[in-house]
Structure 1
Amino acid sequence: MAEQKLAAEVRTEFGKGFARRARMEGLIPAVIYGHGAEPMHITLPAKSTTLAVRVANALLTLDINGEQHLALVKDIQRNPIKQIIEHLDLLTVRLGEKVTVDVPVHLTGELAPGNVYNQEMTTVSLEAEATHLPTAIEVSIEGRTAGEHIHASDLVLPGGSVLLADAEALVVHISEATEVSEEEASAETTEGSSVSTETA
């Protein structure tokens, strides 16, 4: 995954009042920590940062006072209503360093007709080089039929990545689609309405 380069500024102000002013100025408060160093509090440009962290495990190259800092996004705090980014936690990493990350599992393809799937794991834990982190692992369910299982050990990992999850952990289970007749659906609806009336 390509590194995202951003200009950052060191900040000395804290608190909700400062955070509110920063966001009004198009900035996002953030903190960088790791490798035993003192946490560094910074602000980042909101627009370019929001675009950069749209992918999982975004790797950022930060220019802070002329010095380059390589950092991995570890936590994103968003406004629960507006969903804008309010704060970032960043982990300092080094070239060649191995880090542990949770990578999204994306399903591709279509099942054989008359089947449905249940995705038991939406992310999988891996160890990978900080500068070669996968943004997702794709799993094909094309043509699969009832009774088939996909376990963590079946995942095709990017080069240099090591699976940390239980190899026998179930990722996807395929089963037959259950058809509900119109009469059964009507009966369930009527029964539900009856219960609602009695308890009202």
Structure 2
Amino acid sequence: MSEVRISVEPRTEFGKGAARRTRRAGKIPAVLYGHGSDPKHLSLPAIEFARAVRDNGQNAVLTLEVAGSANELALTKTVTAHPIKNYIEHVDLLLVKRGEKVTVNVPLVLVGDAASGTLVTQTLNELEVEAEALHIPEQFEVSVDGAEDGTQIHASDVKLPNGVTLSADAEVLVAHISDAPSAEDMESEIDAEGAGVVEDESEGTTDSES
């Protein structure tokens, strides 16, 4: 993961109104905290920050350049987006040092095709690991190529690069492979569900009449 330099500005106004004004100016309200220091309220350039996350993943590491102050290294900890309009509302940044190890969640991506006639179910989308702040993987690829019915993949089966250690429970299930249901099985299940609905409605009618 590459290091990204971003020029930031201190924020002196707070509250919803101030946050809206910050966003209208093309910036994102953010808070930098960590290492026992007082939280620092900042504004990030929206376009540059969005590009950093897009190019470097959810755990992007930023070199924050503040006019009149020393540069600081920060890990993107939490990005809060508007649930409907899909713009970034707020960012939490964690102050880190070079060489320091941090605990992060890294996305898991399944690759390959399981054996014919099987169904792959992914039960874990992110894996918690410990890694050096400047060497956080963008994602982990987990191969299911050729996997047969009954195969289970756990956190301990995920191949981690040198310097990265597992923080999550080693027995946590990442994915499992099972027989894919046949068309007849699916039709039977739909028929059974439909019969259950009809029965429930009939019972409801009887109750109301009584």
- Common fold: TM-score over 0.5: yes
Structure 1 length-normalised TM: 0.92
1:8-57: CA deviation from partner (whole Å, max 9, x where unpaired): 00111111101111111101010101111111111011111112123121
Verify: 1:118 aligned to 2:118, yes or no.
no
State the Cα distance separating 1:168 from its structure 2 match. 2.1
SS class of match (2:135)? coil
Q: Could you tell me which residue of structure 1 aligns to residue 208 of structure 2?
A: none
Equivalence for 2:48: 48
Match of 1:170 in 2: 173
- Matched with 1:187 is 191
CA contact (8 A) 1:139 1:155 kept: yes
* CA distance 1:175–1:13, shift in 2 (3 Å): same
- How far off is 1:147 after superposition? 1.2
**SS at 1:87's partner residue?**
strand
The number of residue pairs the alignment matches comes to 200
Residue of 129, 134, 139 corresponding to 2:132: 129
Residues 56-87 of structure 1, C-alpha deviation per residue, up to 9 Å, x if partnerless? 21111111115311100111111111121111
Quick check: 1:62 aligned with 2:75? Answer: no
Deviant stretches of 4+, over 4 Å? 195-200
State yes or no: 1:91 paired with 2:90.
no
Pair 155,186 (structure 1): closer, same or farther in 2 beyond 3 Å: closer
1:64 is matched by which residue type in structure 2?
Answer: V
Deviation at 1:185, TM superposition (A): 5.7
SS of 1:61's partner is strand
CA gap 1:24/1:195 in 2 versus in 1, 3 angstroms = farther
For residues 190 and 16 of structure 1, the distance between their equivalents in structure 2, rounded to whole angstroms, comes to 49
User: Which of 128, 150, 161 in structure 1 is aligned with 2:153?
Assistant: 150
Q: Which runs of 5+ in 2 are unaligned?
A: 206-210
Matched, 1:37 2:7: no
Show the counterpart of 2:17: 17
RMSD over equivalenced CA pairs, Å:
1.9
Q: Which moved more, 1:94-103 or 1:46-55?
A: 46-55
Residue 13 of structure 1 aligns to a residue whose secondary structure is coil
Flag the 1:192–1:7 CA change in 2: closer, same or farther, 3 A. Answer: farther
Larger gyration radius, structure 1 or structure 2: 2
- Aligned equivalents of 2:180 and 2:187: distance in 1? 18
Cα shift at 1:190: 4.3
Unaligned runs of 5+ in 1: none
Q: Is the 8 A contact 1:56 1:136 kept in 2?
A: no
Moved more, 87-96 or 46-55: 46-55
1:4 and 2:4 correspond? yes
d(CA) in 2 for partners of 1:51, 1:195? 54
TM-score, length-scaled by structure 2: 0.88
Q: Deviations over 1:117-171 (max 9, x none)?
A: 2222211111110010111110011111101111111111021001111222221
Percent identical:
48
- Residue 184 of structure 1 deviates from its aligned partner by 2.3
